[in-house]
Amino acid sequence: MRRTRTPRAILSALLLSGALVTAGFLPASAAGAESQSEKAPASDGILAAMQRDFGLSKQQAAARLAAEKRATAVEKKARRAAGSAYAGSWFTPKSQKLTVAVADRKKAAAVRATGATVELADRSARQLDAAKKRIDALDAPDGVTSWRADWKTNRVVVEVLTDKRSDNDVKDFLARARKAGPLTVRTTDHAPETFAAGTVGGDPYYTGNVRCSIGFSVHGGFVTAGHCGGTGQAVNGWDRSYIGNFQGSSFPGNDYAWVNVGNGWWTVPVVLGWGTVSDQLVRGSAEAPVGASICRSGSTSHWHCGTVLAKNETVNYSQGAVHEMTKTSACAEGGDSGGSFISGDQAQGVTSGGWGNCSSGGETWYQPVNEILNRYGLTLHTA
């Protein structure tokens, strides 16, 4: 944030340092921040957004957030109890329960004792991840949109464009992929694309003629999407004043970056609610489970919520594949790239891309924030 005293500049400062509303991974201070969030009630803004996007009453939204917080705590215990037999987990909003898949019947009782519902699986998460990594090593054609280790089916799911299913390159890729492990092929009519945009008004940051959104404040700067700029590239704020430079950037392969903040700008642990909800404090980066609600903040479509659909998915953009992404049902639009994904008050990640828009709907992927923090040795700025 720039140190001017106009209300606009103060808002932008919050954006720069805190508007990055994604929930990131917690470095050394994670445990303390998480215990703080246990005491913090859900804000009226978060509840209002969930009522709008999920069709819930205020009481139902509050109950779901409480159940998701319990599920996040149970998941950590269940993963430890399952050990190498852990085969994935997911939260079911209707039952408000966490299900944990286990690849060893002998571990079921210990996992069930943590409070999780247990399902037996043929393959562990490690086995599925190993199969997915073998597919990651293949050169995917444009007709293949993504692939992931799917915990619910206990198989690797590959999605291809419906009108490309019969292409020889796609057929060849699928034939090679089937050799990697158990495979399910699904079709989609939507190709993923990144959400960068040309220069327009709003509260963005700019790199050349590209507009993107801030993710989360870290000590010394903020994290965002890698496709928004390369290492060393200069960054300007909403008022076109100089902020800093990309200190590290990776795309494709990954889609993350971080920018140093100086020159009269500073950081705060806040994600902008854009008037739709109140601005949200960031208290940590405890990872939400599959099935949990999640909200996104960006400079184009502002504040929208959805559900975590899948983790560790490889997304095949036209520029190349990006690994270890999380998929959600929240919408986004051009210019939202790099913006925050947050669950409650816990940072989750930065917006990478997706398909659709916030009028007709769509899906998005984000790069988990903890991965970015670990990669660059950064510390999340928390309240």
The dihedral through the CA atoms of 72, 74, 77, 80 has a sign that is: negative
What separation in angstroms does the CA of 119 have from each of 5, 108, 308? 56, 8, 20
Give the integer Cα–Cα distance in Å for 231 and 186. 37
Q: Say if residues 322 and 314 touch (Cβ distance below 8 Å).
A: yes
Q: Which residues are catalytic?
A: 227, 255, 337
Q: Say if residues 271 and 277 touch (Cβ distance below 8 Å).
A: no
Rg for the chain (alpha carbons), in Å? 20
User: Where is 160: in which H helix or E strand?
Assistant: strand 155-161
For 139, half-sphere exposure in the C-beta direction (CA atoms, 13 angstrom radius) is 1
Bridge partner list, 259? 222, 246
Burial of 94 (0-12, 13-18, 19+ CB in 10 A): exposed
User: Can you spell out the DSSP letters for 228-295?
Assistant: G--TT-EEE-TTS-EEEEEEEEE-SBS-EEEEE--TT----SEE--BTTB--EE--B-PPPPTT-EEE
Q: Which residues contact 175 (CB under 8 A, 6 or more apart)?
A: none
What separation in angstroms does the CA of 30 have from each of 23, 43, 220, 373? 12, 21, 18, 12
Give the integer Cα–Cα distance in Å for 61 and 54. 8
Give the integer Cα–Cα distance in Å for 124 and 102. 7
Give the integer Cα–Cα distance in Å for 262 and 14. 14
